[in-house]
Structure 1
Amino acid sequence: MGGRARLLWEDAGVISAGLGRAAERERKDAAVSQVTPRSFYVPGRSWYARSVLEVAPDLLGAHLSVTSPEGTVTVRLTEVEAYGGSDDPGSHAYRGRTARNASMFGPPGRLYVYFTYGMHWCVNLVTGPEGTASAVLLRAGEVVGGDELARHRRVTSKQDRDLASGPARLAAALGLTGLHDGTSVDAEDGHVMPGHVSASLRVPEVRPGPWQHGPRTGVSGAGGSGAEYPWRYWLSGETTVSRYRAV
């Protein structure tokens, strides 16, 4: 092949690859737009003060953004799990208030961040009237902003869909730890997070769908009963959602 012909052939290959990437991006954006509404709002404290079983499904499709000196990461929530207080045997608050679960008792709209298995942080949003100790575990989501920073924090993730798939991964991608336990997701609340960190939640005007609910995953004992506690909610067809795991 002559030099000029080779250059033309290589240029065509570059253009073709570029068009392929653009087409893939357009396809992904179109798929996301089908499940992600364009209109969002920032809820006030009264929104979180409702029953945990009302708040949990309303969080599907919400965007949680955390900003630190490193940058901002935004996760679109695809799976959550509701936990009550003294009437829920699967809840950390079932046996009353402790130093670990104190943030679950309110006020609503704050983060309850706990350490599990001696290695992972998990993030919850506190709900209900102050003192009722209910919260929604943020189980999984899709990183829709700050991809590079999320990848830096989640170097073991082989695919982008794994960056925030699972409660520990979600917390790590957002950069949230026990330092942020008890802090507010509303930057206007006046509650300053350690390390010059702020968080905000934007909720879709119309909940994306379809969505489903079923047994909580990985919960042992009475609190894991599918018949009594089908309190896990997820967006159908999302690759970031957990596989059900009974205990």
Structure 2
Amino acid sequence: MDNNISGKTVIITGASSGIGEATARLLAARGARLVLGARREDRLNTIVEAIRKDGGQAIAQALDVTSPDSNAAIVERAKAEFGRIDAIFLNAGLMPNSPISALKTDEWRQMVDVNISGVLNGVAAVMPTFVAQKSGHVIATSSVAGLKAYPTTGVYCGTKWFVRAFMEVLRMESANEGTNIRTATIYPAAINTELLDTISHAGVSEGMRALYNQYGIAPERVADVVAYALNLPADTTVNEFTIGPANQPW
């Protein structure tokens, strides 16, 4: 297989665990130069140290995806360290699900801030660079909840449906504008990550943990999909990937 990943500079948000961490480790092994962002800088540093020990290239940058300035800073850090940016993987997300009637409005706002504004801020930060160099790859984690609705996921579904629509418009506009910016939206089902830790509603948490205990698969499976998308030739895009356990009837 051709390795179109080697030498690419990739920013990963939500990189301190789960899908982000697994993707960082895989891409580093394939020769990518990584800029890892998350709030838990100590955890990022541990991952960077492991990558470097194995001969890979990576740096850590504290990142709050809800802050435009923080997103701009990680983009500038990537350019200063590696000279260019080839892709950004917008992977940060929260899933504090609950029935709408529970009115956990603070958690609603958190999901909008991270799952929607976090994507918008990341794209806004990197877009001038991608437009100027007439190339770039935007990859974002949505969810199977961005394809269909499920009880207790009303707000979460809304945020993930937004990612789906926004990324599709970005793909079409980039094609029309001739900027050669490719997109890939990933719709994971039950993937074993820390996402369930954000659920404060006891009943929903119990049900989701039972579901994931029965079906969940490793985040490395999603990392493989990210690597596949990045490895495609520059004239080709696969803009949507739905991935989950083979035995889960999502």
Smaller-chain TM-score range?
A: under 0.3
More helix by share: 2
If you compute each CA radius of gyration, which structure gives the higher value, 1 or 2? 1
Higher relative contact order (CA 8 A, sep 6+): 1
> TM-score, normalised on structure 2?
0.24
